[in-house]
Amino acid sequence: MDNKQKFFVHLITFIVGHIVLNIFIRLEKVPKSLENIQHIFKSNKIWVYFSEVNITIIVIWLVILIIDFFFVFLNQKKR
């Protein structure tokens, strides 16, 4: 797998992961085994997703994704 394909796998993982997480947080009924996890997300107890300074895991992952994008496409032009 070349760098361009790895970037698109990273991009798809980023998008799908956030869609699944947002659906999970908004579900009305979840299995009993997942209720505690959903409650933790909804009550803002996980700082990596909800932070007063807005430096969350989503922002960090987005920055890494953007750097990955530039690395893949700038590196491709040098070849």
- Taking only the tens place, the pLDDT of each residue in 19-60 is 887 788 788 888 898 888 888 777 766 655 555 555 566 777
Residues in contact with 75: Cβ distance below 8 Å, sequence separation at least 6, in sequence order: 3
DSSP state of 48: T
pLDDT of residue 55: 58
Contact 49, 41 (CB under 8 A): yes
Give this prediction's pTM.
0.60
Residue 14 to residue 50: CA distance in whole angstroms = 17
Strands of 1-73, DSSP E: none
Lowest mean pLDDT among 8-17, 24-33, 49-58, 62-71: 49-58
Using the predicted structure, report yes or no on whether residue 78 has a pLDDT greater than 60.
no
**pLDDT value of residue 56:** 67
